[in-house]
Amino acid sequence: MTGVVRTSAWDLAVESLEEALAEGSVPSLERLGRLGQLGTLPSFVAALDGDDDSTELAEDHARERESLGLAPAEVAAELLVLGRVLDRHGESDARRALDRCVVSYVERVTGELAERARRDPLTGVLNHRAFHARLLAESARARRYKGRIALVLFDLDGFKEINDREGHPEGDRLLRAFSAALTSTARETDSVGRLGGDEFGALLLEAGPETAGSFLTRLHKRLAEGVSVSAGVAFLPNDASEPAALREVADRWLYADKRARAA
């Protein structure tokens, strides 16, 4: 189908762009040249009246805008301005397609924001809050279905001394190196997190002593040079049935391992 949108997509894109610039709703566009300001907007507008997957094209357009430095709020504002332009020209079908694109974009952005809120910004693993939420959920599930989980707690050996002696950049490098090894060792069903400072945790599902031992063996083989860790493991239901008690048992074994390494 070839409609008004497809035949005048360039004009509609220009009109939308000029309106966004005039009202200042997309300030990042002001530092771009004309072609950069238009970008993929004309082809996206044309796609709103075609058989192509407009939501996929909207995602491509949004990614292009973000690569140019536009914030998600600016991308959304640009789409809203385009919606007003389409309304003025009586392009109801294209407007409905655009609305679907806006919903899809908002869902993607809010999902990414929610995921970032669960992640430690330095290492990318789960943060303290998200890891313990996972521990609570998996503990309840294991009790309900008579499953098994292993909680492994880690502490980097001599981290404070390295941080004090060589500086925070070196300390951050060690944290990222250990996180990478931990993540690559975990299975898809497992969870890993940074619990604070140089403390980390791994939650292994349907895991007993043999599985946990194999996990630690693989992890130590992946550790970068200069990275050494102590570990403590507790099992549900053998050692405890509640998350707090499971953490206490793992903590005790962790510090026993740390004392033994320091001896």
Q: Is 164 a catalytic residue?
A: no
Catalytic residue among 11, 198, 251, 257: 198
Residues with Cβ within 8 Å of residue 36, at least 6 apart in sequence: 68
In one letter, which amino acid is 195? L
Q: Strands across the sheet with 191-196, in order? A: 191-196, 199-205, 149-156, 229-236
For residue 4, give every residue at least 6 positions away whose Cβ sits within 8 Å of its Cβ, in sequence order, or none: 49, 89, 91
Contact 240, 251 (CB under 8 A): no
What whole-number distance in Å separates Cα of residue 236 and Cα of residue 14? 62
CB 203 within 8 A of CB 135: yes
Q: Where are the alpha helices (DSSP H) in the chain?
A: 4-7, 9-23, 34-38, 41-47, 54-67, 72-88, 92-117, 128-145, 159-166, 168-185, 209-222, 243-262
Q: What is the DSSP string of 170-204?
A: HHHHHHHHHHHHHHHHS-TT-EEEEEETTEEEEEE
Q: Which residues are catalytic?
A: 198
